Amino acid sequence: MSLESPVLDIDPLIDDPKTRIVVCCGSGGVGKTTTAAALGVRAAERGRKAVVLTIDPARRLAQSMGLTELDNTPRKVAGIDESAGGELHAMMLDMKRTFDEVVLQHTDQERARAILDNPFYQSLSAGFAGTQEYMAMEKLGQLRALDAWDLIIVDTPPSRSALDFLDAPKRLGSFLDGRFIRLLMAPAKVGGRAGVKFLNVGMSMMTGTLSKVMGAHLLRDVQTFVAAMDSMFGGFRSRADATYKLLQANGTAFLVVAAPERDALREASYFVERLAAEDMPLAGLVLNRVHGSGAAQLTAERALAAAEALDDLSDPEDPDDADDADDADDPDTTGTADADLEAGNPSTPRLTGEFDESAENLQSVGIVDQPGGKAGLRTADGGEGTPSTDSADTSSPESPTGSPAVPAPAQDPDAGRPMNPDPLDADRLAADMLRLHAERMQLVARERRTRDRFVSVHPDVPMVDVAALPGDVHDLEGLRAIGERLAQGQPTAA
């Protein structure tokens, strides 16, 4: 029996005007981007002015929304039903451009140019650990400050751990506002070469170590960068704190997205606990790609048993066949048959596999040539039946010997094809289908057990099960189908 959990109602969540931010989070590869896009489409077609912010390097969101590209500027999505008054925009985070915007916004033009041209800043803004997550939060704050949309849906970065989304902004802010950076700022604050000389006198050992580890040129770039950003360090921490308060506000809802797999649900469980510890509002869990069956009453065990029974029917043990095989292997029997055939006795079939023109149509009843070119019936015991009048054709041309030629039988395109399907083939097909059903039911049972373990640990977390689609989502219709399943899906219970 499957454990029950509260039902996550998606439509009331996205319809509520008090809901301003929805954050889809979870481990990588569980469908966060598809879920965020489907929520955006459904919210827009239900009357919300929504924008979807994705940090998806695969650009699947742009393809599914019919956009040629996504960049750091929200773009309107065509094809949305706006009859309810809603609209949808989408954008993809450009990490470096967002960092550049932060620099330009919080410093003067001359210092901003020095920062943007600094080699250390270019490396930092392009790929420093935590920069992507921090810039996602910066962009979220910018979109919220514009107040141009009443619903912002965030697709969190694809991380090795879902906790990176919460930890990275503080981690980057602490780095840029930490003691190490302050130490590197000391020469600039003291003043030029005198400062460097003072630092070398007081901390020559540390400076030598830093130069060896970082390189003298890199150390100089870092000091220049830090000196230029001196006025911004306090801003990084203050904005990180403001973002955290925004995520903790009542208008924010976190949706943890997972798949019915052990690792994904373990990560989701850890994330649920972390959200609770940080006092962040959890709306519920979206369980993606859940498998089911239209014949759930047929268990895997019964299906396998039925398949084995059909296998037994399709491969019976016939004792007569075994006797025939023994006769074929018996040299005395074989020799007798060959002697009969050489003597002209047609009642015994040739077993050597050679073709004998005098032994045509050796079946229980067959058509054979009679003297004079007429056709007649002959039984397997050599008896002759009534000549076939239908086969005689008096108008047929004569052969060179004067006898009328027997016309060649017409070639039937279906010759050799059974009039009715072979019941043995049908049995084999049914057995294979039963085995496929058994595999599906075993998968369903495994997913249900994994889900039940999560529910037993977090019985109060609302959940919605989203049935797996047969293919990938690549257009708005596919996103609408996911939205319908999000709204109608129910936690599996037995």
CA–CA distance, 37 with 230 (Å, rounded to integer): 39
What is the pLDDT, as a whole number, of residue 345? 52
DSSP string, 201-233: HHSHHHHHHHHHHH-HHHHHHHHHHHHHTGGGH
Cβ atoms 463, 287 nearer than 8 A: yes
Residue among 465, 493, 483, 464 at smallest CA distance from 7: 464
pLDDT-above-90 percentage for the chain? 32
What is the pLDDT, as a whole number, of residue 160? 54
Please state the φ and ψ torsions of residue 145, each to the nearest 5 degrees. Answer: -70, -30
Phi-psi region of 8 (alpha: psi -120 to 50; beta: other; left: phi over 0): beta
What is the pLDDT, as a whole number, of residue 493? 39
186 pLDDT higher than 60: no
Cβ-Cβ contacts under 8 Å for 304 (sequence gap 6 or more): 434, 435, 438
User: Does the pTM of the predicted model rise above 0.85?
Assistant: no
What is the pLDDT, as a whole number, of residue 93? 80
Higher pLDDT, 195 or 435: 435
Q: Which of 42-51, 131-140, 183-192, 418-427 has the lowest mean pLDDT?
A: 183-192
pLDDT digits (tens, 9 = 90+) for 36-85: 999 999 999 999 999 999 876 566 667 778 777 777 889 999 999 999 99
Encoded tokens for 328: 């074929």
Indicate the SS3 state at residue 22.
strand
Higher pLDDT, 22 or 332: 22
What is the pLDDT, as a whole number, of residue 182? 59
What is the pLDDT, as a whole number, of residue 205? 43
| Distances 396 to 313, 370, 402, 405, 407 between C-alpha atoms, Å | 51, 16, 11, 6, 8
Cβ atoms 287, 458 nearer than 8 A: no
| Distances 134 to 37, 59, 431 between C-alpha atoms, Å | 22, 20, 56
* Average pLDDT over all residues of the chain: 74
Higher pLDDT, 90 or 173: 90
What is the pLDDT, as a whole number, of residue 365? 47
355 pLDDT higher than 50: no
Q: How confident is the model at residue 99 (pLDDT cuts 50, 70, 90)?
A: confident
pLDDT digits (tens, 9 = 90+) for 465-483: 999 888 888 889 999 999 9
Give mean pLDDT, residues 326-334.
52
Residue 369 parent element (H or E): strand 365-369
Give mean pLDDT, residues 179-197.
52
Amino acid at 320: D
What is the pLDDT, as a whole number, of residue 156? 83
What is the pLDDT, as a whole number, of residue 332? 54
The maximal CA–CA distance of the chain, rounded, in angstroms, is: 130
Q: How confident is the model at residue 175 (pLDDT cuts 50, 70, 90)?
A: low
Highest mean pLDDT among 71-85, 89-103, 150-164: 71-85
Q: Angle at which helices 179-190 and 192-202 pack, to 10 degrees?
A: 130
Amino acid at 305: A
What is the pLDDT, as a whole number, of residue 398? 47
Q: Which of 25-29, 225-229, 299-303, 483-487 has the lowest mean pLDDT?
A: 225-229
Give mean pLDDT, residues 338-349.
49
Give mean pLDDT, residues 268-279.
90
CA–CA distance, 320 with 257 (Å, rounded to integer): 63
What is the pLDDT, as a whole number, of residue 348? 47
Q: Which of 42-46, 287-291, 346-350 has the lowest mean pLDDT?
A: 346-350
pLDDT digits (tens, 9 = 90+) for 403-449: 455 555 555 555 555 556 666 688 889 999 999 999 999 999 999 99
